[in-house]
Amino acid sequence: MPADGTRPLAGRAVWPVGFGCMGISWAYGPAMADDDAVRLLHRALDLGYRHFDTAALYGGGLSETLLGRALVGSRDEVLIASKVGLFARGGARGIDGRPETIRAGCDVSLRRLGVDHIDLFYLHRLDPEVPVEESVGALADLVAAGKIGAIGLSEVSAPTLRRAVAVHPIAAVQTEYSPWSRNAEIAVMEVCRDLGVAFVAFSPLGRGVLAGRIDDPATLDRSDIRRHMPRFSPANWPGNRDLAGDFASLAEVWGVTPAQLSLAWVLSRGPHVHAIPGTTSLAHLAENAKAGVLEVPEDVIDRIDWLFDPTAVNGPRYPADVQAGIGTEEFS
C-alpha cells in the first residue's frame, strides 16, 4: 500500500474511504434538496474524497445527475463509479443484465453524469436469465469503445467472479460488508485478493447501526428501506441493538467514534479493501474521512471478530424476495 495511504482501484490511487451516493437521493428517507446534496458533495471533495459511487437505481437516476452537477470542474480529480442492471418500477425491483440493456444504460448514465466516460462501471446484480459471460462481454465492449474505464461486479459469488474474469479483467467487486455483515469472508473477499481485484464494501457502517445512529427502527421514515429489512424487525432488533451498544462501548474505550471503528475494521481486512459509507451530514462526512488513517490494534480487531461472530447477528440481510436476486455466498 502506498505511503500516502491511498489504495489502487480501477487503475487509480484513491483514498480508501470513498463516498456512497445512494442516500442523497434514495433508500434512507426523503431525498436531499438538490442544492444541499451538491454542497455535501463539494465538501467531500474538500475533505479529500476522490472515489464517488452511484447507480442508475438511486432515485431513478437523480443521484447520477446530482453527482455530475457537483463534479463540474473537478472531473479529472475523481474516480466515478456507477452501476447498471438493477431498477425499481412501481415499488418493485427488477434485474436486467442483457447486453442491449447494459449498452443503453451506459449511455443514459453518461448523459446524467455529464461525462464522456465512467471510470468504473458495475453490473449491479447478476441476472439469473443471462450468463455472466454475456453481461461482462457487453461491458468489455464498452471498455473497448472508451465509454467505461473498468468493469465491476456487485453482490456476486466467488465462482461467478472467476467466470467473469475469464472473459475480461474485473477491477472491483462490491458487496455489503461490515462487522455485522461478514458473508464476503466465506469466499469472495479472498478470491478478490488472489485475482488482484479490489473489494469495495458498501454499507460499511451496518446500515447506520454501527455508527450509533438508530435507536428505534419504528421511528425511521416510512420510505426508509430499513423498515422492511429483517434485522430491523421487532423480533430481531433488540438483540442487534445490544450488539451495537457493545460495539459503541468498544469504540469509546479506544477513543474513536463507532463509525470510525467500523470503517477502520473494514479497511484492516486487506490492502485491496475500500469502503464507501454514505451520509447526508457534513459532520459525519468529516468523521468518516478520518477513518482512513486509523490502524486498529490487534486486540480490538479480535474483540470485534468475537463480538460479531456471524451467528450472533439476528436476522438475514434482506427479505426473501430481495435475497433471491443476491449472488453472494451467505451463512446458514
Instruction: Say if residues 179 and 307 touch (Cβ distance below 8 Å).
Output: yes
Task: Sketch the domain layout of the chain as residue ranges.
Answer: 8-323
pLDDT tens, 165-207?
999 999 999 999 999 999 999 999 999 999 999 999 999 999 9
pLDDT tens, 81-116?
999 999 987 767 899 999 999 999 999 999 999 999
pLDDT at 89: 75
Phi, psi of 71 (to 5 degrees): -95, 5
pLDDT at 36: 98
Half-sphere exposure for 232 (CA within 13 Å, toward CB): 19
pLDDT at 310: 87
Q: How confident is the model at residue 1 (pLDDT cuts 50, 70, 90)?
A: very low
Nearest C-alpha neighbor of 179 from the set 250, 281, 282: 250
- Is pLDDT of 155 > 70? yes
State the average pLDDT over residues 3-9. Answer: 89
Rounded Cα–Cα distance for residues 137 and 168 (Å): 7
State the average pLDDT over residues 122-149. Answer: 98
pLDDT at 84: 98
> Which residues are tagged catalytic?
58
Q: How confident is the model at residue 285 (pLDDT cuts 50, 70, 90)?
A: very high
Residue 205, all three cell numbers: 457502517
CATH number (3.40.47.10, 3.20.20.100, 3.40.50.720, 3.40.50.300) of 8-323 reads: 3.20.20.100
User: C-alpha angle with apex 218: 214 to 220, nearest 5 degrees?
Assistant: 60
- 3-state SS of 281-302 is CHHHHHHHHHHHHCCCCHHHHH
- Is pLDDT of 24 > 50? yes
pLDDT at 3: 58
In this structure, the dihedral spanned by the alpha carbons of residues 188, 193, 194 and 198, taken in order and rounded to 10 degrees, is 90
If phi > 0 it is left, if psi is from -120 to 50 it is alpha, else beta; for residue 203 that is: left
- Is pLDDT of 298 > 80? yes
- Is pLDDT of 4 > 90? no
By the 10 Å C-beta count (0-12 exposed, 13-18 middle, 19+ buried), 98 is classed as: middle
Q: How confident is the model at residue 18 (pLDDT cuts 50, 70, 90)?
A: very high
| Distances in whole angstroms, Cα of residue 289 to Cα of each of 37, 48, 56, 133 | 17, 8, 25, 36
pLDDT at 92: 73
